[in-house]
């Protein structure tokens, strides 16, 4: 049970950000390297609004909305014009935007880590596993937003329009779907989800100006393992990456060397995730859960 909880918490660190990244990629078809920086922006905005006296939930939602608006603005002003040149140029432009965002956050917020002012909790034991109330809330909130997004994706007109634009953009426009509006809505949701992911990370631990850079490789690894451009794949990719990382750092490898105890240091956990990424690229280059459809 402790292994399951640890894996779910690690998956929760990545899931909302990965979901936003993969969903936006499905529509705009370029890997936005600034996507993880939205998590840093959202976390610091959440801290700012909470410092103004807003309740934590309201500060989080406000920060997510502002970050979503920032994501839409950056796409219209920077990424969309670059996409007219080529997706590669847009990707390079997104890297430049990510560096600019990171530098601005460093200049404004400084280099020290910070976190929300929450009371210190004593972990409770659930089925033999230690977990805090805050960790339970983080898992529940993540699951609720993921479930809500899937309902919108597969049970609403917006979801059908989004899937149509993602699979057959020219046919979708011919059918009267406003692809620009759909891209704006999904871009907003992608930025908002990244911001919420960053806020949940700050609630569970702490946040610093390099948060987006630290998340870049794991988030992209989870998205690629699941199938870049597949929202459902992003969910399972984050879970798969978290399971592998958690398994490696919890296994006792003493039987290999004859020692009683031999555990992999925590800092080496992400390396196991990248091994999964390499194996996935060899076996299924499009991702484990990627499934392209021509009709929605």
| Residuewise pLDDT in 10s, the chain (296 residues) | 888 898 898 898 899 999 999 999 988 888 999 999 999 999 999 999 999 989 999 999 999 999 999 999 999 999 999 999 999 999 999 999 999 999 999 999 888 888 888 877 778 887 788 888 888 999 999 999 999 999 999 998 888 998 888 888 888 888 888 888 999 999 999 999 999 999 999 888 888 899 999 999 999 999 999 988 888 999 999 999 999 988 888 787 776 777 777 777 777 777 888 888 888 888 888 887 766 544 44
* 131, two tokens: 């977990």
Query: Is 81 a member of any domain?
Result: yes
Answer whether residue 37 is part of any domain.
Answer: yes
Task: Tell me the two tokens of residue 22.
Answer: 């993969």
The pLDDT assigned to 293 comes to: 45
pLDDT of residue 191: 95
Pairwise CA distance, residues 278 & 274, whole Å: 6
Within its chain, how far is the Cα of 70 from the centroid?
17
252 domain-assigned: no
- Within a domain: residue 183? yes
Is 158 contained in some domain? yes
Residue 230: inside a domain: no
Overall number of domains in the chain: 1
In a domain, 268, yes or no: no
Query: Does residue 85 lie within any of the structural domains?
Result: yes
Measured at the alpha carbon of residue 229, what is the angle toward residues 226 and 234, in degrees to the nearest 5? 35
């Amino acid at each position: 049970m402790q292994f399951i909880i640890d894996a779910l918490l690690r998956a929760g660190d990545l899931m909302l950000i990965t979901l936003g990244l993969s969903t936006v990629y499905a529509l705009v078809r370029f890997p936005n390297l600034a996507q993880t920086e939205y998590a840093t922006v959202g976390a610091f905005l959440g801290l700012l609004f909470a410092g103004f006296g807003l309740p934590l939930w309201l500060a989080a939602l406000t920060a997510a909305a502002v970050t979503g608006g920032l994501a839409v603005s950056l796409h219209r002003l920077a990424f969309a014009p670059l996409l007219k040149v080529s997706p590669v140029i847009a990707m390079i432009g997104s890297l430049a935007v990510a560096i600019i965002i990171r530098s601005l956050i460093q200049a404004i917020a400084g280099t020290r880590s910070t976190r929300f002012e929450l009371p210190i909790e004593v972990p409770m034991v659930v089925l033999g596993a230690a977990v805090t109330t805050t960790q339970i809330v983080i898992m529940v909130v993540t699951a609720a937003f993921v479930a809500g997004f899937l309902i919108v994706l597969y049970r609403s007109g917006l979801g059908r329009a989004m899937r149509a634009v993602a699979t057959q953009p020219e046919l979708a426009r011919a059918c009267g779907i406003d692809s620009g509006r759909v891209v704006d809505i999904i871009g907003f949701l992608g930025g908002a989800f990244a911001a919420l992911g960053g806020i949940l990370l700050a609630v569970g631990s702490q946040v610093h100006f390099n948060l987006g850079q630290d998340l870049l490789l794991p988030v992209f690894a989870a998205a690629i393992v699941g199938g870049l451009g597949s929202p459902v794949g992003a969910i399972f990719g984050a879970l798969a990456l978290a399971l592998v990382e958690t398994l490696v750092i919890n296994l006792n490898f003493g039987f290999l060397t004859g020692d009683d105890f031999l555990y992999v240091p925590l800092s080496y956990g992400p390396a196991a995730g990248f091994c999964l990424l390499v194996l996935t690229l060899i076996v299924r280059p499009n991702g484990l859960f990627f499934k392209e459809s021509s009709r929605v």
